[in-house]
């Protein structure tokens, strides 16, 4: 059974979808996307006995666009969403920007997450390889606000990752836009961090229109007794 709703948190109206029953898993989509992008993942989680909260990030999906974007603001949105829903130490999965938001939230509000899983996420712009950021800069002077955020942010450190206490699975595709070295260093910096490099996948192929990430998530959650 699926239900949808909107909630106002941190001054923003956020659209969300809830499906399934069981322990909570919050899903956070990538830059410019929506909760719909993660429906293949959500369905696998639902079928395996989890209650899934898929959230449209501020200014994206079904939400009204905003003039500028910052990961810290989105992290505060999701923190307040979790508090509003009464979720205690939920598992949080973030794809791309969504993973940046999940990590930023746990840095800013330690102990919020019971488990973090990310895929294709970075903690500073240099973690993105293959000239992607330079390509974004070449769009000047007409750089969209969501792209400007990726040029300037996030601004986290490996030292901050060392303060994250919950288990964390840091994933990326074998051919991801995020440098594999960056992915591995994030995981190595988190005391309970592990790396998962998805064979043959790029930044999106194991997530968009694919249930592959859902099965990776379920295996990890069960491994951690969640």
Give me the pLDDT at residue 79, please. Answer: 98
- 3-class DSSP state of 213: helix
Distances (CA, A) of 89 to 79, 159, 167: 11, 22, 11
CATH of the domain spanning 2-223, picked from 2.70.180.20, 3.40.50.1820, 3.30.460.80, 3.40.50.740:
3.40.50.1820
Closest among 97, 104, 107, 119 to 195, alpha carbons compared: 119
What is the maximum span of the chain, computed from C-alpha positions, in angstroms?
A: 49
Spell out the domain ranges in the chain.
2-223
pLDDT of amino acid 153: 98
- Smallest CA-to-CA distance from 130 within 178, 185, 69, 183 is with 178
pLDDT in tens, the chain (226 residues): 689 999 999 999 999 999 999 999 999 999 999 999 999 999 999 999 999 999 999 999 999 999 999 999 999 999 999 999 999 999 999 999 999 999 999 999 999 999 999 999 999 999 999 999 999 999 999 999 999 999 999 999 999 999 999 999 999 999 999 999 999 999 999 999 999 999 999 999 999 999 999 999 999 999 999 9
Q: Are 82 and 11 a contacting pair, CB within 8 Å?
A: no
């Amino acid at each position: 059974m699926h239900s949808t709703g909107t909630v106002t948190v941190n001054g923003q109206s956020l659209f969300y979808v809830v499906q399934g029953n069981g322990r909570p898993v919050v899903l956070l989509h990538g830059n410019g996307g929506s909760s719909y992008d993660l429906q293949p993942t959500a369905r696998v989680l639902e079928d395996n006995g989890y209650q899934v909260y898929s959230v449209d990030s501020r200014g994206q999906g079904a939400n009204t666009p905003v003039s500028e974007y910052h990961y810290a603001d989105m992290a505060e949105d999701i923190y307040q969403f979790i508090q509003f829903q009464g979720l205690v130490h939920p598992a949080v999965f973030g794809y791309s920007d969504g993973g940046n938001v999940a990590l930023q939230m746990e840095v800013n509000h330690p102990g919020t997450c019971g488990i973090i899983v990310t895929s294709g996420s970075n903690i500073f712009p240099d973690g993105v390889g293959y000239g992607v950021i330079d390509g974004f800069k070449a769009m000047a002077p007409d750089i969209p606000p969501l792209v400007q955020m990726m040029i300037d942010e996030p601004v986290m450190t490996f030292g901050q990752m060392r303060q994250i206490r919950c288990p964390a699975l840091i994933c990326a595709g074998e051919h991801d836009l995020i440098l594999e070295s960056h992915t591995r260093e994030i995981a190595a910096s988190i005391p309970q961090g592990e790396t998962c490099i998805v064979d043959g996948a790029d930044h999106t192929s194991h997530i968009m229109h694919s249930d592959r990430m859902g099965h990776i998530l379920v295996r990890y959650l069960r491994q951690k007794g969640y």
